[in-house]
């Protein structure tokens, strides 16, 4: 297993009774930042779950994460590369990456935006205890 280097940042707790987020305003929060580029905006934390919008531009700089992660493609397309495995994806597709697994997005469109959900314990749900 690859060394896990990325920790997801803190995000707001949901209000009682539910929660809602939309792509456009969340993407705007990413794109309006000046200085150091940031590819993600985390919008919610609840228990072990962290939810955000990931929108890399040009290249995908991410490293393996401590938790399992699920991506839901909000817009754009590309290829998820995991070792020798390559999977093309587009809007509406869902992708899963176990904790600690090296992966990246390649050949992606300029408008790529994916909801990302990190969840479970460090090492992932399938980790031996």
Specify the pLDDT at position 13. Answer: 58
Number of domains comprising the chain: 1
Q: Which two tokens stand for residue 30?
A: 């990413």
Rg from Cα positions in the chain: 14
In a domain, 20, yes or no: no
In a domain, 24, yes or no: no
Q: Which two tokens stand for residue 114?
A: 């994916």
In a domain, 15, yes or no: no
Q: What is the pLDDT averaged over residues 86-99?
A: 97
Q: What is the pLDDT of residues 47-73, one digit of tens each?
A: 999 999 999 989 998 899 999 999 999
Specify the pLDDT at position 3. Answer: 43
What's the chain's average pLDDT? 84
CATH number of domain containing 94 = 2.60.120.10
102 burial level (CB within 10 Å; 0-12, 13-18, 19+): middle
In a domain, 5, yes or no: no
Specify the pLDDT at position 8. Answer: 46
Buried b / exposed e over 58-86, threshold 16 CB at 10 Å, is eebebebbbbbbbbebbebbbebbeeeee
How far apart are alpha carbons 129 and 44 in whole angstroms?
27
pTM of the entire predicted model: 0.80
In a domain, 50, yes or no: yes
Provide the domain limits for residue 75. Answer: 43-119
In a domain, 32, yes or no: no
């Amino acid at each position: 297993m690859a060394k896990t280097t990325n920790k997801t940042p803190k995000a707001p707790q949901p209000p009682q009774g539910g929660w809602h987020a939309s792509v456009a305003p969340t993407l705007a929060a990413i794109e309006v930042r000046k200085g150091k580029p940031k590819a993600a905006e985390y919008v919610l934390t609840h228990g072990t779950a962290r939810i955000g919008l990931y929108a890399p531009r040009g290249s995908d700089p991410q490293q393996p994460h401590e938790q399992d992660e699920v991506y839901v493609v909000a817009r754009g397309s590309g290829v998820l590369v995991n070792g020798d495995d390559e999977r093309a994806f587009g809007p509406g597709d869902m992708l899963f990456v176990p904790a600690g697994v090296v992966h990246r997005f390649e050949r992606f469109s300029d408008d790529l935006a994916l909801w990302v959900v990190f969840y479970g314990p460090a090492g992932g749900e399938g980790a031996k205890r």
